[in-house]
Amino acid sequence: MFFAVILLLLCTGISASGEFQCTTIPGKLKQIDAGAGEVYGVNDNDEIYHWVNNEWEQIPGKLTHVSVGPAGVWGVNSANNIYKLQDNEWTSVSGLLKQVDAGGDKFLGGVNAQNRVYCLRKSCTVSGSSVVAWTPLDGSLKYYSCGPVGCWGVNSANQIYFRHNVKPTSCLGSQWQHVEGGLVMIEVSTDGSVYGVNSAGNVYQRDGISAKTPTGTSWTELDFCATFKHVTYDNGYLWLLNPTGEIYRCVEKVTDLAITQDQA
What DSSP string describes 186-233?
EEE-TTS-EEEE-TTS-EEEEES--SSSTT-SEEEEE--SS--SEEEE
Element (H, E) at 34: strand 31-35
What topology is assigned to 5-252 in CATH?
A: Methylamine Dehydrogenase; Chain H (2.130.10)
Determine whether 120 is exposed, middle or buried from the number of CB atoms within 10 Å of its CB (0-12, 13-18, 19+): buried
Q: From CA 153, how far away is CA 159, in angstroms rounded?
A: 8
Q: CA end-to-end span of the chain, whole Å? A: 39
Residue 10, pLDDT score: 34
Q: From CA 31, how far away is CA 247, in angstroms rounded?
A: 10
Domain boundaries, the chain: 5-252
The answer to whether 174 and 137 have CB atoms below 8 angstroms apart is no
| Rounded mean pLDDT for each run of 10 residues along the chain, 264 residues in total | 36 48 96 98 98 97 98 97 95 97 96 98 91 96 96 98 95 97 97 97 97 96 95 96 98 57 38
pTM of the model: 0.89
3-state secondary structure of 124: helix
The answer to whether 31 and 66 have CB atoms below 8 angstroms apart is yes
Residue 232, pLDDT score: 98
Q: From CA 260, how far away is CA 238, in angstroms rounded?
A: 27
Residue 9, pLDDT score: 37
Strands 185-188 and 194-197: antiparallel
The answer to whether 203 and 194 have CB atoms below 8 angstroms apart is no
* Main-chain phi, psi angles of 98, to 5 degrees: -100, -20
Q: From CA 72, how far away is CA 102, in angstroms rounded?
A: 6
Residue 254, pLDDT score: 62
Q: From CA 173, how far away is CA 176, in angstroms rounded?
A: 9
At 110, the amino acid letter reads G
